[in-house]
Each structure stands twice: as C-alpha cells, then as structure tokens.
Amino acid sequence: MKMNKIKQGLAFGLAGVMMSGMLGGCSSTGESSEATASDTQEEAVELTVFAAASLTEALTEIAEQYKEVAPEVSLVFNFDSSGTLKTQIEEGAECDIFISAAQKQMNELDATQDAEKNPDGLDYIDPETRIDLLENKVVLVVPEGNPAGINAFEEIGEKSNLIALGNDDVPVGQYSEEILQGLGLLEQLESENKITYGSNVKEVTTQVAEGSVDCGIVYATDANSAGLTIVAQASEDMCSQVIYPAALLKNSKYPEQAQAFLDYLQDDAAMQVFEEIGFSPAAAQ
C-alpha cells in the first residue's frame, strides 16, 4: 500500500515536469514569434517637409505615390514662402527637409557659405545632402480676357493700373523686382502706387485670377496650376535662373528616411509629376 502511494507520487511528479516543459516550450515559441513579428514590422515615421508654396500641387501628388514606396512614412508638408519657412526653421520649428524656391534662403542656413551669402553664420542644413532639385520660369500673367491688353513686361508701366507682386522677402518677389528694375519700371510703379503685394506666390495668382489686378508676375508652374493666361516669359537676361535647392536639416529626427524621400524626388516617377506641372530638372551648376 505504501509502495503504491510512492509510485503515484512519482507519476504525478513526472507529469508535472513534463507539463512544465511543454508549457515552457510553448511560452518560448510564443515569445520568439512575437519578437520576429516585431523585428519585421517597419517603424512608423513622420517626416516634416518645409517647401516653397509653388511646390504645393506637385508634392501633394508625389506624396500619394510615395505611399506605395514607403507605406510606413507619413509626409507632413508646410507650404509657404521660402523666406517665411527659413524664419520658422531659425525659430526652432521641427523640419526634416527644406526645399526653397531660391538659393538665397538656403544659403542663409548653410554654414559652408561665406559671410556675404550667410551673414548671420547660421548652421541648420546638412550641406552634404544639399542638391539643386528643380528649375522654374518667371512669367507675366493676366486675368481672363486680358482687359488691360498687356502682352509684354515692357507694357506694364503704360497699361497697368495695378500689378500684383510677391513681397521682397519672397523669391518670386525678388525675381519680379529684378525684372522691373532692369526695365526701369520699378520706381515708377512704386511712386504711382500701382503695386499690390502677396506674402507668397499663391496670393499673387489669386489676385490675378479674381481680376483684382491688371497683371501679376509669378512662376510658370503656378500660372499653369491656376489656369492663368501667360502673356510673356522672362528671358535669361531679365532675371536670375530660378533654381530650387533642397537639403536635410541637421536636426532631422529621421535622416535615413528623409534622405530616401529626397532621393525619390529625383527619380523618374517624381520628376514626371514635376515636369507635367511645368518644372524641369535643375541643370548641373
């Protein structure tokens, strides 16, 4: 009788050991599966892109394409004038990529530039990632029907009662002033109060589209997107080449993913979108 009890005890003990081993094995396998799943799952990333307002339509479309390429990456855009974006970066706004509508604003954030181009010695962008991405053109646009009959930059002073330009801290405004100064019209228009200003290129196109001005100076891409009538394009001797530089910020939280998106912007699929709107790839400088 005593022997039977001992045998029963041994049997229960062995069963317990076996059950424990089985459970331990299941637990180990489960943990291993979870770890594997965790390792293979892509980390969700949110990239913040500061881009010139004239890139709104193109980058919005490209962002939809990029979802197929990198579904784990969410793109958040801040579209405004390059001068405003540059100021926001200086003030500490979170930004992974900056795309300016002119070299001036990018130079002012690049520590590798000399004191003339970067007078405050700012050091925000990673110069190793800086590229010239796109080229645009500056054009003269008029409202539907062209009521004032303006067909050339040279006719602005004589035929226009009001022209819309970008502010002088906005690249399109700087190109506009360069054109009008070269034609000897800027001082005349200012003295006759014939200029109204927009804080970015989209505000200028809106004023022209609404017919509140006789003409405006904008980028070809914005004229195309807004369906405006282009009556003249600035020649190379009228204003500087319109180049859009792009670069990663030094404090980007996700430099690897940001570089991947910047690389994608130079690929054929993205460049096709840019070209359909009126941009062209920037020629090597």
How confident is the model over 234-264, as pLDDT tens digits? Answer: 999 999 999 999 999 999 999 999 999 999 9
Question: In which band, very low, low, confident or very high, does the pLDDT at 90 lie, cut at 50, 70 and 90?
Answer: very high
Q: Give the pLDDT confidence of 184-240 residue by residue, as tens digits.
A: 999 999 999 999 999 999 999 999 999 999 999 999 999 999 999 999 999 999 999
pLDDT at 31: 46
Residue 51 in contact with residue 99, Cβ under 8 Å? yes
Residue 39 banded pLDDT, cuts 50, 70, 90? very low
pLDDT value of position 126: 98
Question: What Å distances lie between residue 193 and 160, 164, 205, CA to CA?
Answer: 11, 11, 20
Note the pLDDT of residue 43. 84
DSSP tag of 125 = B
Instruction: Decide: helix, strand or coil at residue 249.
Output: strand
* Predicted local distance difference test score (pLDDT) of residue 283: 76
pTM (predicted TM-score): 0.79
pLDDT of residue 8: 45
CA distance 254 to 95: 10
Residues 64-86 have a mean pLDDT of 96
Angle at which helix 255-265 crosses helix 56-69, to 10 degrees, equals 110
DSSP H/E element including 105: helix 103-107
CA distance 254 to 252: 5
